[in-house]
Amino acid sequence: MGLKQNLHKLKEKYKGKKMAPAFNAIHTFLYLPNETTHNGTHVKGADDLKRTMNTVIMALVPCLIFGIFNAGYQHYLATGEISKAAGFLSPEFWSMANFSMGAWKVLPIVVVSYVVGLAVEFIFAVIKGHEVEEGYLVTGMLVPLIVPVDIPLWMLAVAVIFGVVIGKEVFGGTGMNILNPALTIRAFLFFAYPTWMSGDKVWVHGAVERANEIAGGANVDAISGETILGSLAQNKAFDYDIMDMFYGLIPGSIGETSTLLILIGGLFLIFTKIGSWRIMVSAIIGALAMGLIFNGVVDQGWIGEGSKFFSLMSTEFWHHLLIGGLAFGIVYMATDPVTASQTNRGKWIYGFLIGFISVTIRVFNPAYPEGVMLAILLMNVFAPTIDHYVLQGNIKRRAKRLKVKTA
């Protein structure tokens, strides 16, 4: 007897009992539901929540694979075991050591994210007596991509529990939350353990320790894994060109570095109609607009080189999309259909403000020069308000048209 038949027997055995949601979830995850509707009229469609979540995961997989490679590449680059001058086509660039080192660090983060998050989901489903929802399938993939490669696993587990319980379950589960769960987890990590979410050592695995080992125990403090945003926030120079930033060969969160792959993922989400192109385009416009304003302030001489804001303000306005997590946040976080605005006009406003506020926070908060997380969470809260006023505006316009016609 096959696995499907055995799971179906377990479903029937535990039907109506406390553990029924757990067996139903396993069966539904592996196979199509074997229940069909018989009465009434129903709208039939090829997509459901599970297929929607799987589509988003497919868009995220390239970022994960590249993040694994880049974690290893940045490690060996920082320790001097490979040379940046070797070039893209060199054997050492494509060495399997880069992938194996990256996989050794990244895959445990993915496993912890899914095991802990789904365990919380199962517990709540059993306690509350409802089906296990597929919402965490995407959250579980997003979380490893937005954290540093050296984040302690116990710390990640605590944050995941907090994010799933406080960010989603207390509101009623998938579809009821007002905050993006993945960003809630990252916000918890940042405010609870700030030294593990900023600084210049956490983005490149074991760089200083490995360099000391190679140097025979000498103290090699100069090697670090500081991000471009971290350097700019301290008015320091960095050794990365535009193509490095575009391809993602820079330190940063595991999946946020490659603008190229994020762009491809965004186009895929638009093509499959999962992600809103209005939110993506308006967020990019908002970020570029704020970047242009800051560039204008510098060009007018209102901010001098001695200012702590000078480097980030003088950064080319379109470079903001290539560094940090802005592009990743716009494509995969801001477009979350549960927490984003629902009206078409509201999506334009919502997205524009995310981009605008992200660059503003990035420039004016040198201690934490990445503002897209806070911008999206802030706009998650205001999304219902934006939709309310958009709907009220439509109602008033229609009332005026009706009044004119009946006059």
Write down which residue in 207, 225, 243 finishes a domain.
225
Asked if residue 319 and residue 383 are part of one domain, the reply reads: yes
Provide the CB-side half-sphere exposure for 188 (13 A, CA). Answer: 21
Q: Is residue 402 part of a domain?
A: yes
Asked if residue 172 and residue 132 are part of one domain, the reply reads: yes
User: What is the structure's pLDDT at 27?
Assistant: 53
Residue 407 has pLDDT above 80, yes or no: no
Q: Could you give the CA distance from residue 355 to residue 287 in angstroms, rounded to a whole number?
A: 4
Residue 217 has pLDDT above 80, yes or no: no
Q: Is residue 336 part of a domain?
A: yes
Span 292-328, pLDDT tens digits: 999 999 988 888 777 888 888 989 999 999 998 999 9
Asked if residue 268 and residue 142 are part of one domain, the reply reads: no
Asked if residue 217 and residue 264 are part of one domain, the reply reads: no
Q: Is residue 209 part of a domain?
A: yes
Domain containing 263 equals: 256-407
Amino acid at 340: A
Q: What is the mean pLDDT of residues 10-38?
A: 55
Going by C-alpha positions, the residue among 373, 376, 76 that lies closest to residue 229 is: 373
Q: Is residue 108 part of a domain?
A: yes
Q: Retrieve residue 355's tokens.
A: 């981009």
What is the rounded average pLDDT for all residues in the chain?
83
Write down which residue in 170, 205, 225 finishes a domain.
225
Span 226-252, pLDDT tens digits: 688 878 877 777 778 899 999 999 998
Asked if residue 216 and residue 324 are part of one domain, the reply reads: no
Q: Is residue 121 part of a domain?
A: yes
Span 252-292, pLDDT tens digits: 899 999 999 999 999 999 999 999 999 999 999 999 999 99
Span 68-89, pLDDT tens digits: 999 999 988 888 888 887 777 7
Residue 221 has pLDDT above 50, yes or no: no
Span 111-144, pLDDT tens digits: 999 999 989 888 887 777 666 667 788 999 999 9
Asked if residue 268 and residue 209 are part of one domain, the reply reads: no
Going by C-alpha positions, the residue among 133, 131, 142, 124 that lies closest to residue 180 is: 142
Asked if residue 92 and residue 174 are part of one domain, the reply reads: yes
Asked if residue 103 and residue 152 are part of one domain, the reply reads: yes
Asked if residue 394 and residue 298 are part of one domain, the reply reads: yes
Q: Is residue 248 part of a domain?
A: no
User: What is the structure's pLDDT at 311?
Assistant: 86
Higher pLDDT, 222 or 20: 20
Span 56-65, pLDDT tens digits: 999 999 999 9
The torsion of the CA quartet 324, 260, 108, 162, rounded to 10 degrees, works out to 50
Q: Could you give the CA distance from residue 12 to residue 25 in angstroms, rounded to a whole number?
A: 13
